[in-house]
Amino acid sequence: MGDEKVNIHRGLVGIHFDRTQTTYINGKQGILEYRGYSIHDLAEKSTFEETAYLLLHGNLPNKAQLDEFDKILRSSRKIPSKVLKIIETIKSAHPMDVLRTAVSALSAFDKETDDKSYEATLRKGIRLTAQVPTIVMSHNAIRQNKKPVTPNPELSHAANFLYMLDGSIPPENTTKLMDKDFILHADHGSNASAFAARVCAGTQADLHSAITTGISVLSGPSHGGAAENVMKMVKEVRSPEKAKDYVTNLLRNKERVMGFGHRVYKAEDPRAGHLKEGVEALGKEKGDPGWYEILVAVMDAMKPYQRRGIHVNVDFFAGVIYHLLGIPTDLFVPIFAIGRIPGWTIQVLEQYEHNILLRPLLHYTGEHEKQYISIEKR
Ligand code: SDX
């Protein structure tokens, strides 16, 4: 058992473990493409429904294909009353824990749960894309002892999500911003939650299991959990003038500034700029520009760290947008999950297509061949 020479890649930093045809990320240049289309084009010109179709099917839909896909999404938004009962039972839990539990429970009611064929998995992924917003907003109503707002088939994915918040039809501009947010969160290669979903699919577990895994991993503050923590940080900073001292303090205590840094991007996250514009416009429209000004002040305070590759990421602006839309802070990470369902689904489908069990090694550095001593003598 000599100490054979092994190369250990902690955190699997920089390790390519498979090939993909879905999402291209160039961390050095800050480039992101879904199926070869720039995130900038998709954010400005596409819709979440069209982008979800692109990710899942590999090509942009024509009008008939998009209409059919949209029709299926709109007709799949309901969740079984027994799942609503489970949500009622755990209504005081964090929305991410409720979402994880409800998605897991949905597998008991989905007629295709045991069918792991490509076609059935795709259908289940589309159903979950439609159902997850209903889970999040039904829980939000139930925990306030209100009746959940019934999903509205007349509304788009983003508009219906906002509609279920309080039963009012959202204005066009906020719907467009929410839609853009879902596009920007739709997929991101082998991020921690997608990697975990792939590990799950690698054992031939079903899609509900893989997406339940993804939701669990996304909830961590180093990943999706950052969006909620950025809002907490901005509330603690309170004014732009205090941003520099706040950031200096955090960094002096070796703490992380939420919404900054990324394992892959060492240039600015190409998604962040699209949300930055959104926060500024929404803040002005709501007569509440202060939050945007605090964000800009925090960005200025973090400028010196850019030379170390620490830039703003997708979570930095998203939280303030949700806050300005009147969405409770603990729903911020579930919103990330809502956008990511098509991404997790296509990652699972890719894993299934060329499946291999994902089982890396740990290099043992402990003791060997120790003598067993009976308990009387210990
Ligand atoms: C997402 O992977 C994906 O694609 C994820 C995502 C997706 O779409 O799925 O893009 C979404 O999760 C975005 C990231 C959201 N998380 C945060 O905003 C939380 C704050 N960020 C950090 O926790 C951190 O940047 C990570 C976890 C995101 C990335 O960390 P890494 O790659 O493991 O880098 P590291 O921790 O090794 O840091 C390298 C150096 C360290 O300094 P030294 O110890 O070498 O001196 O950079 C510093 C870190 O201290 N650093 C930060 C920092 N991020 C890194 N310092 C202060 N604040 C930060 N935010």
Dump pLDDT digits (tens) for 317-370: 999 999 999 999 999 999 999 999 999 999 999 999 999 999 999 999 999 999
How far apart are the C-alpha atoms of 261 and 223, rounded to whole Å?
A: 11
CA of 13 to the centre of ligand 1 (A): 12
Residues 77 and 133: their CA atoms lie apart, in Å, by 8
Tokens representing residue 298 in the block = 């925090």
Q: Which among 341, 344, 335 is positioned nearest to 136, based on CA atoms?
A: 335
Burial class of residue 129, CB neighbours in 10 A (0-12, 13-18, 19+): buried
Cα separation, 136 vs 113, in Å, equals 21
Cβ–Cβ under 8 Å, residues 342 and 52: yes
pLDDT given at position 325: 95
What pLDDT score does 101 carry?
98
pLDDT of 151 over the 80 cut: yes
User: pLDDT tens for residues 71-111?
Assistant: 999 999 999 999 999 999 999 999 999 999 999 999 999 99
pLDDT value of residue 377: 97
Give tens-digit pLDDT for 187-220. 999 999 999 999 999 999 999 999 999 999 999 9
Q: How far is the CA of 261 from the centre of ligand 1 (A)?
A: 4
For the entire predicted model, the pTM comes to: 0.96
Is it the case that residue 3 has pLDDT exceeding 70? no
Q: What percentage of the chain exceeds 70 in pLDDT?
A: 99
Q: Where are the domains of the chain?
A: 23-222+329-353, 226-324
Q: Which of 313, 332, 341, 347 to mutate to test the pocket of ligand 1 (most atoms within 8 A of CB)?
A: 313
pLDDT tens readout for residues 161-171: 999 999 999 99
**DSSP assignment, residue 25?**
E
- Which fold does the domain 23-222+329-353 belong to in CATH? Citrate Synthase; domain 1 (1.10.580)
In the predicted model, is pLDDT for residue 149 greater than 60?
yes
Distance CA 184, CA 164 (A): 21
pLDDT tier for residue 1 given thresholds of 50, 70 and 90: low
Task: Report d(CA 149, CA 153) in Å as an integer.
Answer: 12
Query: Ligand 1 site: residues with CB under 6 angstroms?
Result: 11, 188, 191, 222-224, 226, 251, 256-264, 310, 313-315
Q: How far is the CA of 164 from the centre of ligand 1 (A)?
A: 33
Per the prediction, the chain carries an average pLDDT of 96
* 23-222+329-353 against 226-324: fold identical: no
Residue 2 has pLDDT above 70, yes or no: no
Indicate the helix (H) or strand (E) that contains 89: helix 81-89
In the three-class reduction of DSSP (H, G, I as helix; E, B as strand; rest coil), residue 312 is classed as strand
Whether the pLDDT of residue 316 is over 80: the answer is yes
What is the predicted pLDDT for the residue at 5?
A: 86
d(CA 250, CA 295): 15
* Residue whose CA lies nearest to ligand 1 atom number 59: 256
Token representation of residue 108: 């008991």
The kind and range of the H/E element at 123 are helix 118-142
| pLDDT at residue 234, rounded to an integer | 95
Give the count of beta carbons closer than 10 Å to the beta carbon of residue 107.
Answer: 18
- Angstrom distance (rounded) from CA 155 to CA 172: 11
Mind listing the pLDDT tens digit for each residue in 266-286? 999 999 999 999 999 999 999
Q: What is the CATH number of domain 226-324?
A: 1.10.230.10
pLDDT at residue 248 in the model: 95
Helix (H) or strand (E) holding 26, with range, is: strand 23-26
Residue 318 has what DSSP assignment? H
Name the residue with tokens 């043992």: 364
Alpha-helical segments (H) within 185-314? 192-202, 207-218, 226-237, 243-252, 272-285, 290-302
Only one residue has tokens 């707002």, namely: 149
Check whether 24 has a pLDDT greater than 60.
Answer: yes
List, for residues 221-254, the tens digit of each pLDDT value.
999 888 899 999 999 999 999 999 999 999 999 9
Contact 327, 335 (CB under 8 A): yes
Say whether 166 is catalytic. Answer: no
